[in-house]
């Protein structure tokens, strides 16, 4: 989709569909609609009156252009009350307006800049909402939809209805595109089925991302190397599968190598059957999404190639399947991790923490990062606690937590902190090894984090459990049903801050 920013005078030349944001307080419509051609302003005034349209948040009203007008459709989108206005409201309103236009054969869309004054962060949010809400994944459907869904919106113009200056908005619109494209890549990778998105496939994606930027390097460690490094937990999980595991390492160089990097670690289980502790069949297909943390890291790196961040950033992805077989891990087995610490396996379905344990130690030992953030679809418990409405965050560093939570408020990817207290640590004490891989009844999200904590040493660390937020079973605002790409915009916001 082509994106551009236009000045107020462009209102006289709008083609296709025009979206106009209306606050409840503006129910008589904003004054600038006088600049529209073909007396569209009168059409709008009549329609608003006839339908008693009030601009309530998310409410839309479609008005058709007059017979000869280049504007075919005008969509009013309610922005709600000014007091409730925010970037997230702008994202939602843009998403809802795109959804409302879905059934029309529209190729060109223009939208008024939402809000009541020039605000670049709102322009960025509008672009995000518009791009993200239009997401579809249909590459495996042999018959392309014959209906209107196949009509793609080719261009979006954001019109600065407040004046003739577009300079400050151009960068914002580009950022909106780059953030969204990162999230869309993550969604595409998440959506790929497990028989395509294997560890080898993820490694190839990482190579592709690195080859697009001179500042990104990639290293892929294969099974022989992973074994040689004695990553007993990671290898243990991969042993159940025929599909070769990969440890994928991406390095982004944005400043002098003297600066310690920020590390991002993403769980890359390309299919989680549970292993010998096999999961029940219901909804097991969703476990193709168990690489959503990895997808988020790859989405961030794709975006990094188009941003100019003055940070060094390293991304690490332990990628493998978790399957049952004669060579799979068994309950009762004890693995020796890369760090030397041992873990007793009680349940082979608690595999994410095993691969992350080795990936976290590897990252800290080899990169000495200033902070480390991991993203993982780690526990069903976090879905019980927070549903799809927030990612759980557990951390050993208050400042990092505060900044990540703030970034989440900005991007609309909410985080909620859970406490890592000693009694949770006690839950994973083992009779036979340094720790065991599950903590028994209760607090499952936290006991998983309590295990990871053993592998981060003194490094400021935050663990994001995205099991509830990585994919949706029904559409929500600007995220259609399916993969959300959660974490990409959040981390980009954090890294840009
Ligand atoms: N990948 C799952 C967690 C998950 C659950 C992700 C639901 C997305 C939706 C993870 O590997 C897992 O199986 N966790 C177990 C841990 C248990 C055995 C202690 C769980 O949460 O049930
Ligand atoms: Mn599992
Ligand atoms: Zn898993």
Q: Are residues 428 and 324 in the same domain?
A: yes
64 located within any domain: yes
CA–CA separation, 77 and 437 (whole Å)? 50
CATH number of the CATH domain containing 57: 3.40.220.10
Task: State whether 129 and 194 are in the same domain.
Answer: no
Backbone φ and ψ for 321, nearest 5 degrees, come out as -90, 160
Nearest Cα residue to atom 7 of ligand 1: 380
pLDDT tens figures, 413-439: 999 999 999 999 999 999 999 999 999
In CATH, what number is assigned to the domain containing residue 385? 3.40.630.10
| Cα(205) to centroid(ligand 1), Å | 25
**What phi and psi, each to the nearest 5 degrees, are found at residue 172?**
-60, -40
- Same domain? 374 vs 428: yes
Structural domain contains residue 181: no
Task: Give the count of domains, the chain.
Answer: 2
pLDDT of residue 180: 98
Give the pTM: 0.98
What are 162-185's pLDDT values in tens digits?
999 999 999 999 999 999 999 999
Confirm whether 194 is domain-assigned: yes
What residues flank ion ligand 2 with Cβ within 5 A?
A: 272, 349, 351
Query: Is 327 a member of any domain?
Result: yes
**pLDDT the model gives residue 152:** 87
At CA 433, angle to CA 428 and CA 438, rounded to 5? 30
265 within some domain? yes
Ligand 1 atom index nearest CA of 438: 19
Sign for the pseudo-dihedral over CA of 131, 136, 142, 144: negative
> How many angstroms separate the CA atoms of 347 and 331, rounded?
6
211/300 same-domain check: yes
Q: Which atom of ligand 1 is nearest to 437's Cα? A: 19
- pLDDT at residue 148 is higher than 70: no
The catalytic residues are 279, 353
Within 6 A (CB) of ligand 1 lie 272, 290, 347, 349-352, 377-381, 383, 438, 444, 467
Average pLDDT, the chain: 97
Residue with tokens 């209760």: 442
Sign of CA dihedral 78, 80, 82, 86: negative
Last residue of a domain, one of 165, 181, 198: 165
Separation between Cα atoms, residue 106 and residue 70, nearest integer Å: 12
| Rounded distance from Cα 341 to ligand 2 centre (Å) | 21
Q: Which of 324, 379, 468 to mutate for ligand 1's pocket (most ligand atoms within 8 Å of CB)? A: 379
Which residues constitute the domain of residue 450?
189-496
Ligand 2 centre distance from Cα of residue 166 (Å): 49
Q: Atom 22, ligand 1: which residue's CA is nearest?
A: 380
């Amino acid at each position: 989709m082509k994106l551009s920013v236009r000045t107020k005078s462009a209102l006289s030349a709008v083609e296709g569909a025009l979206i106009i944001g209306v606050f409840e307080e503006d129910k008589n419509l904003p004054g600038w609609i006088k600049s529209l051609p073909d007396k569209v302003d009168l059409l709008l005034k009549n329609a608003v009156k006839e339908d008693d349209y009030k601009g309530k948040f998310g409410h839309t009203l479609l008005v058709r252009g007059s017979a000869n007008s280049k504007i075919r459709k005008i969509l009013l989108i309610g922005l709600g009350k000014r007091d409730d206005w925010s970037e997230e409201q702008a994202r939602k309103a843009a998403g809802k307006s795109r959804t409302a236009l879905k059934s029309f054969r529209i190729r060109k869309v223009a939208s008024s800049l939402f809000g009541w004054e020039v605000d670049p962060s709102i322009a960025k949010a509008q672009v995000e909402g518009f791009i993200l809400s239009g997401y579809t994944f249909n590459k495996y459907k042999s018959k392309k939809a014959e209906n209107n869904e196949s009509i793609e919106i080719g261009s979006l113009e954001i019109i600065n209805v407040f004046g003739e200056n577009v300079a400050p908005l151009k960068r914002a619109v580009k950022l909106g595109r780059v953030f969204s494209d990162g999230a869309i890549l993550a969604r595409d990778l998440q959506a790929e089925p497990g028989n395509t998105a294997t560890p080898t496939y993820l490694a190839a994606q990482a190579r592709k991302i690195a080859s697009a930027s001179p500042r990104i390097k990639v290293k892929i460690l294969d099974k022989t190397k992973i074994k040689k490094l004695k990553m007993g937990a990671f290898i243990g999980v991969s042993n159940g599968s025929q599909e070769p595991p990969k440890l994928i390492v991406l390095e982004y160089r944005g400043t002098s190598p003297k600066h310690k990097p920020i590390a991002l670690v993403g769980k890359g289980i390309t299919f989680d059957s549970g292993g010998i502790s096999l999961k029940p069949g219901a909804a097991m297909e969703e476990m193709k999404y168990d690489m959503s943390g990895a997808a988020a890291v790859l989405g961030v790196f794709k975006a990094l190639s188009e941003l100019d961040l003055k940070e060094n950033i390293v991304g690490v992805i332990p990628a493998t399947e978790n399957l049952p077989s004669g060579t799979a891990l068994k309950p009762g087995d004890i693995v020796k991790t890369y760090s030397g610490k041992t873990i007793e396996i009680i349940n082979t379905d608690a595999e994410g923490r095993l691969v992350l344990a080795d990936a976290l130690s590897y990252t800290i030992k080899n990169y000495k990062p200033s902070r480390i953030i991991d993203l993982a679809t780690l526990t069903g418990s976090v879905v019980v606690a927070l549903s799809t409405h927030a990612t759980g965050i557990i951390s050993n560093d208050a400042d990092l937590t505060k900044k990540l939570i703030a970034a989440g408020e900005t991007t609309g990817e909410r985080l909620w902190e859970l406490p890592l207290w000693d009694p949770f640590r006690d839950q994973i004490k083992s009779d036979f090894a340094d720790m065991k891989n599950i903590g028994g009844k209760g607090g499952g999200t936290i006991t998983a984090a309590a295990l990871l904590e053993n592998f981060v040493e003194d490094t400021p660390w935050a663990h994001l459990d995205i099991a509830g937020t990585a994919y949706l079973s029904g559409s929500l605002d600007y995220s259609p049903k399916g993969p959300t790409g959660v974490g990409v915009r959040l981390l980009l916001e954090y890294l840009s801050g």
